[in-house]
Structure 1
């Protein structure tokens, strides 16, 4: 459209005005003077309307405080939730004597509190964590920052921020503070960030504008990052008082020419009166020129200067969330889920992040789930975190009691290191292995290590565990709070639920209706009672009927057929629930039903089968939204269409507005008529697709113009070069091996495949059969059912790799 064409001619510069745009962009100026009547009118009216107030905005966190009723001194109105609101902007409100405060509410603070609560509940025998007393030089935390593993870390989650953190390789808390101050459009575009990084890593010499500024700019490697550095500099160089320095800061911020000229004069005069400034001036420049040069530098950098106290406050939250992810990753991720129950994209992203971290997210369970997401321990494993906490808790004497001797530390330390990353299902077996690998006296082995009640055993029970996240019942769609309370009440009164019909008889059916039961079956909440979801789904109506009949019979005032039977017959009839002989839902069907019940996939994802294609052929929705790809770049997405609206254009041709979901979120995009005509039918399927096109930015929103849509299964079948079947160290049964051989023979073709077998000693063996196969979707589905714990990987030629 004409408006869109004109809008794209405006340079993408921060705070640029239309007048400045006309001077900078000749094509825009031509439209304003010689364009069509509509183009000239649009630009004329836009310039007149620019900077006019269009609506009443409310500061998200601003509160003003006065020593009198504000209604007596300024106009007011009623804001949201009937709050009294000033109609003055901040500046005019302050001119009336009001003091403005920003009270910021951060979800991240609730996340930290929830994480600490989850730690105390899931690790009752661990040392209690005080987040205000964590070490600020923790190696695990800085390792996490240096590898940019910052999903869930406050302010450091975006791909751009992750790149900066990776380049910076922070080694001290001050680096985190600087990162938060530097990651803004101004500093990024000015070269300040690159200078900081290069100087930090000694790839570039640190240069100070004047020797007197060395102490002020030392922590930021000669780069003026903070507003406080500007205030300190003018004090040291020109003898400004704090009040004068703050006035200069404000004047520079407002860019008023007359005031700036006056401030420059005062600054230069102050510098020339300072004998240290004059004496230490470099020989190649005279003091007056140097003073003007420094003022220009201050004037330039102050536009990007950030309040250090603000950055430190935010940096502390960043560090705390980073520390929690480094030391308690499962608890932090569970807390992030709890804070994002109503944010669909965040949940999808966190599920994907958990998978990348090796953390399992388990579906809801009526026997095991709480209201919110919780953490459960499973088998035993010693990790880097376990070793770090051993040093923290025992070497620092936090847990040393009368029964634990200091000279036991070194043998135990060596033993734990030897057993690192090995899994043990049984606690007794785990303790016995530690005994065997610990080089110490028999007294230690017998009285300490094998004693399940010892301090060390209790500590291992908390700190040497593989932990998983259990889905909260409150997060299930269509199951309200009263229904959840009714389920938890049954569990608290009757203990573990072992029979579906018993549950139906005991739960309050006024609170738990059929629709809710259907949802609970679909998402797997009854799997611990009856794991065949297809059977449960088939008998829901009958179970509900029997439960209602049972409850009527229990009422004292009601007679029923049960009263005519003897006690044994009545008991049998009450619980008679026959399950039909039907196979459980396939993996694909289970995932589909989970998605309909929860809004997202939990136990797996349809795209899990296409991890190779996601890695090699496509980018992700979160990278696209974060601006990783430039305008008009060719990209591809691997995903599933979750919404599709078909419309007619002005030529009565069909086009669509579709939404694709991948493992990192969702993206809406148009499918224009020419593409819809050839590929539109694919938008109606629930199959994984490869959607290719060009990046498009509009009004700060990112999208894509689609050129091509293809089924991933067809791409794999025709274009994948080879397949690797990765077998983990757990041995396959003879029956599984036989089924595997016959399955592969059934789909013979022309493509090579290999087995990559992981040995118990962490080595691997590659087997290359001479047979060739066909990579059909039917084969892949059978292999995934046959080998649910193994991985299939596919390779492609470089010409296929389009990001």
Structure 2
């Protein structure tokens, strides 16, 4: 048994290294092959070399000598277009960023990302305004990779690329989730299928899972193992930490030999890879064949991925890009198309204002169901308390709504200061310009960097190293940085005692600090979606319903929100509904593909026949005209149960009772038409019209009708 460590393993008398003589006897007549085994072994020599960064060759137009020159030209053109009348400070910042990029030899990387984003926009694929540290780069803004001006929002380039330490840049880009695959296909077409693939990721044995796995192998009763596993706190808590912090678990470990054996084995296995899967967003692009750079793996689905995880790929200098699918971008795109079609207003996402009073009114009321990042109950409550009045407030809300700040006095302190119920104070006047937008609270990692820069004379690159050290809380490194900060601050005229206090504040808040670049970029999407909900609620909610029409629980939430907003949502109707939720005279029409067991392909076929031949007149007319190869009996039954056929003659019970006869006749007629028979050939027992009368049965009682409605819609 597996749980017996002394079990006898199956032995084989052949499992040993054989002598040359024995090999000759085993392979008579193949002496040359035996002799060449050593030759093959000698050729199997792998020398790992540090060859730097492996960027794909980006095609540079003939007018430019190299990637550096071409990148600079694109950036300068982008700045003039995106910031008309830009001052000297803008171009100084741009040249500084370009110098760092060129010095690190990453111009090609930025061109690759620019090209992908540019190609997506040319194809009408919605692209997000940015995410992560890339939003802090003016170069990224000028190239159109991001849509938030870092200089207007106090965002720092050094979060993306630190001139003090060379590391691969990491630019992640959000694309409309429904068209993300098109972006990946573009990359494959451009660089070749042998040079592009996705990245492997490993599911590892976490504390609870490994205890359950080991318990199963040791044949310990499931109930006993489950009790032990549930003693381990939530995700992210290691088994060793649980042993030191959960008294009951520690007691069981010390007193029960079986539990000790289980946990000791689990400790040795925790963290090991359990299974392989494909990373949700990451792809790699290599300058030559992938096999020249990384080992590959074929998944069960036939997908090719790297065998190296993301961290290793970065360490060996392989270009990695996260091409993420963001459902919100699909939602926004659908909203904009509905607004254009039904209201005659063309709205560009990047032109949506970030200072709109009606948008702030919606946020202050917490009416943020379906608004990006702001719709959870806790977030809505926080919005009501903060009552945001600026884009900076919304950026702060995104940063505050996390376990660290919520578990401290940080949130209440921010709220009290914003509303004037608590005096805003600063440890030193030089802190005011840095902390003014957050009412004196150190909220962002970038503020820690700016304090080190302005008060202690650190370069922003050095300040980023300080920020990282504070985040990792390594005592020796922290003490060294502390001495350096105090020395620099004293040199700038700040008393030593005050410098110590400021450093301690920075160290304390660094545990809660958030990346402002990411928070600001996502706050922009929050504001854009809130604006659309405030000004175009019908289109916004119709698009939200379509985006989530495969999730019944989510539909219930969105339908309740429509009711609370006073938006009319019509019941499903075969003669007015489309594949998706739509608009008609300011009211929402039900998307027929949202009905369970119906599907997009079936509804698309139904709508095509309706548009070709006009509204359906009866159940028989429907079954006779639609393609029954695409629309089967189950689909029609769910259409009946949902009420989508209520506008046709007869009640639901009659339609269900007669459906089998109608389908039989309709299939005969469709088969005859397929064989090219004439109209006269089609006449049969149904009569010239082909109409089959409905069975004379009473309608279902309300309880049964509601039960079947819920079966098909997921709600009453």
TM range (shorter): 0.5 to 0.7
Q: Is 1:341 aligned with 2:549?
A: yes
Give the structure 2 partner of residue 470 of structure 1. 589
Give the structure 2 partner of residue 692 of structure 1. none
Instruction: After superposing the two structures, state which structure 1 stretch, 180-189 or 73-82, moved more.
Output: 73-82
Q: Is 1:84 aligned with 2:305?
A: yes
**C-alpha contact 1:362 1:468 (8 A) present in aligned 2:** yes
Q: Is 1:297 aligned with 2:505?
A: yes
Give the structure 2 partner of residue 119 of structure 1. 339
Return closer, same or farther for 1:523/1:68 CA change in 2, 3 Å cut-off: same
**C-alpha contact 2:582 2:588 (8 A) present in aligned 1:** yes
Counterparts of 1:292-691 in structure 2 under 5 Å? 292-377=500-585, 467-530=586-649, 532-548=651-667, 550=669, 573-598=688-713, 600-601=714-715, 605=716
**C-alpha contact 2:404 2:512 (8 A) present in aligned 1:** yes
Please list the CA deviations of residues 562-593 of structure 1 after superposition, one character each: whole Å capped at 9, or x if unmatched. Answer: 7999xxxx995434433344333343333222
Tell me, in whole angstroms, the C-alpha distance in 2 between the residues paired with 1:226 and 1:363.
47
Give the structure 2 partner of residue 128 of structure 1. 346
Return closer, same or farther for 1:584/1:140 CA change in 2, 3 Å cut-off: farther
Please list the CA deviations of residues 717-741 of structure 1 after superposition, one character each: whole Å capped at 9, or x if unmatched. Answer: xxxxxxxxxxxxxxxxxxxxxxxxx
SS in 2 for 1:118: helix
Give the structure 1 partner of residue 476 of structure 2. 258
Return closer, same or farther for 1:504/1:68 CA change in 2, 3 Å cut-off: closer
Instruction: After superposing the two structures, state which structure 1 stretch, 201-210 or 529-538, moved more.
Output: 529-538
**C-alpha contact 1:74 1:88 (8 A) present in aligned 2:** no
Give the structure 2 partner of residue 37 of structure 1. 257
**C-alpha contact 2:571 2:589 (8 A) present in aligned 1:** yes
Please list the CA deviations of residues 639-662 of structure 1 after superposition, one character each: whole Å capped at 9, or x if unmatched. Answer: xxxxxxxxxxxxxxxxxxxxxxxx
Instruction: After superposing the two structures, state which structure 1 stretch, 140-149 or 57-66, moved more.
Output: 57-66
Equivalent of 2:459 in 221, 233, 241: 241
Q: Structure 1 residue 182: deviation in Å?
A: 1.1
**C-alpha contact 1:252 1:260 (8 A) present in aligned 2:** yes
Question: How much is the aligned-residue C-alpha RMSD, in angstroms?
Answer: 3.2
**C-alpha contact 1:365 1:526 (8 A) present in aligned 2:** yes
**C-alpha contact 2:470 2:507 (8 A) present in aligned 1:** yes
Tell me, in whole angstroms, the C-alpha distance in 2 between the residues paired with 1:9 and 1:470.
49
Return closer, same or farther for 1:571/1:53 CA change in 2, 3 Å cut-off: closer
Please list the CA deviations of residues 734-766 of structure 1 after superposition, one character each: whole Å capped at 9, or x if unmatched. Answer: xxxxxxxxxxxxxxxxxxxxxxxxxxxxxxxxx
SS in 2 for 1:60: strand
Return closer, same or farther for 1:481/1:220 CA change in 2, 3 Å cut-off: closer
**Which protein, 1 or 2, shows the higher relative CO under an 8 Å CA cutoff with sep ≥ 6?**
2
Return closer, same or farther for 1:165/1:535 CA change in 2, 3 Å cut-off: same
Equivalent of 2:364 in 140, 146, 158: 146
SS in 1 for 2:324: coil
Give the structure 2 partner of residue 700 of structure 1. none
Tell me, in whole angstroms, the C-alpha distance in 2 between the residues paired with 1:24 and 1:563.
80
Counterparts of 1:186-197 in structure 2 under 5 Å? 186-197=404-415
Return closer, same or farther for 1:562/1:86 CA change in 2, 3 Å cut-off: closer
Instruction: After superposing the two structures, state which structure 1 stretch, 555-564 or 476-485, moved more.
Output: 555-564
Tell me, in whole angstroms, the C-alpha distance in 1 between the residues paired with 2:673 and 2:395.
66
Tell me, in whole angstroms, the C-alpha distance in 2 between the residues paired with 1:127 and 1:38.
70
Equivalent of 1:269 in 483, 487, 499: 487
Return closer, same or farther for 1:185/1:510 CA change in 2, 3 Å cut-off: closer
Q: Structure 1 residue 233: deviation in Å?
A: 0.6
Tell me which protein shows more strand as a share of its residues: 1
Tell me, in whole angstroms, the C-alpha distance in 2 between the residues paired with 1:188 and 1:554.
68
Q: Structure 1 residue 73: deviation in Å?
A: 5.5
Return closer, same or farther for 1:572/1:202 CA change in 2, 3 Å cut-off: same
Q: Structure 1 residue 219: deviation in Å?
A: 0.3
Instruction: After superposing the two structures, state which structure 1 stretch, 61-70 or 585-594, moved more.
Output: 61-70
Instruction: After superposing the two structures, state which structure 1 stretch, 174-183 or 262-271, moved more.
Output: 262-271
Q: Structure 1 residue 22: deviation in Å?
A: 4.9
Q: Structure 1 residue 376: deviation in Å?
A: 1.8
Tell me, in whole angstroms, the C-alpha distance in 1 between the residues paired with 2:367 and 2:416.
22
SS in 1 for 2:370: coil
Give the structure 1 partner of residue 421 of structure 2. 203
Tell me, in whole angstroms, the C-alpha distance in 1 between the residues paired with 2:247 and 2:621.
78
Q: Structure 1 residue 47: deviation in Å?
A: 4.2
Tell me, in whole angstroms, the C-alpha distance in 1 between the residues paired with 2:665 and 2:233.
70
Q: Structure 1 residue 170: deviation in Å?
A: 1.1
Tell me, in whole angstroms, the C-alpha distance in 1 between the residues paired with 2:430 and 2:522.
30
Give the structure 1 partner of residue 387 of structure 2. 169
Return closer, same or farther for 1:251/1:68 CA change in 2, 3 Å cut-off: farther
Q: Structure 1 residue 195: deviation in Å?
A: 0.9
SS in 1 for 2:372: coil
Return closer, same or farther for 1:582/1:73 CA change in 2, 3 Å cut-off: closer
Please list the CA deviations of residues 436-466 of structure 1 after superposition, one character each: whole Å capped at 9, or x if unmatched. Answer: xxxxxxxxxxxxxxxxxxxxxxxxxxxxxxx
Return closer, same or farther for 1:355/1:564 CA change in 2, 3 Å cut-off: closer
Return closer, same or farther for 1:5/1:199 CA change in 2, 3 Å cut-off: farther
Q: Structure 1 residue 520: deviation in Å?
A: 2.1
Q: Structure 1 residue 32: deviation in Å?
A: 4.1
Tell me, in whole angstroms, the C-alpha distance in 2 between the residues paired with 1:557 and 1:103.
50
Equivalent of 1:224 in 442, 448, 464: 442
Return closer, same or farther for 1:220/1:366 CA change in 2, 3 Å cut-off: same
Return closer, same or farther for 1:595/1:250 CA change in 2, 3 Å cut-off: same
Return closer, same or farther for 1:6/1:479 CA change in 2, 3 Å cut-off: closer
Equivalent of 1:102 in 319, 322, 325: 322
Tell me, in whole angstroms, the C-alpha distance in 2 between the residues paired with 1:104 and 1:297.
36
Give the structure 2 partner of residue 610 of structure 1. none
Tell me, in whole angstroms, the C-alpha distance in 2 between the residues paired with 1:155 and 1:113.
17
Unaligned runs of 5+ in 2: 1-222
Return closer, same or farther for 1:207/1:65 CA change in 2, 3 Å cut-off: farther
Give the structure 2 partner of residue 436 of structure 1. none
Return closer, same or farther for 1:63/1:542 CA change in 2, 3 Å cut-off: closer
Return closer, same or farther for 1:594/1:314 CA change in 2, 3 Å cut-off: same
Unaligned runs of 5+ in 1: 279-286, 378-466, 606-803
SS in 2 for 1:502: helix
Q: Structure 1 residue 289: deviation in Å?
A: 2.7
